[in-house]
Structure 1
Amino acid sequence: MSPRESVFRTGVLVRHNLLLMLREPGPLLSRMILPLAFLTLLRPLYVAAQGRAAGTEQAVVGTLVTFSLLALSISGNTILTERLGRTWDRMRGTALHPAEMLVGKAVPVFAALLAQQVLIIGFGVCALDLSVPHPLPLLGVLLCWSCTLLGVGALLGVLVRSTGELSAAYDIGGMLFSSLGGALVPLDALPGWAAAVAPASPGYWAVQGLRAAIAGDTHTVATACGVLLVVASASGALAAVRLQGRGGRLVAL
Structure 2
Amino acid sequence: MTTPDHAAIAARLHDARQTTSPIGPLIADDPSLTVDDAYAIQQGLVAAILEAEGGRQVGYKLGLTSKPMQQMLGVDVPDYAPVLSSMVFDDGHTVDLDAYIQPKVEAEIALVLDQPLRGPGVTSMQAFRALGGAVAAIEMVDSRIADWKIGLVDTIADLASSGATILGSRVVPMDTLDPRLVGMVISRNGQTAATGAGAAALGNPVAAVAWLANTLAAYDVTLEAGWFIMTGSLHAAFEVEPGDLVRADFDHLGSVTTHFTRSSGSDHPRTSEEE
Q: TM above 0.5, one fold? A: no
TM-score of the aligned structures, taking structure 1 as reference length: 0.29
Larger Rg: 1
Larger strand fraction of residues: 2
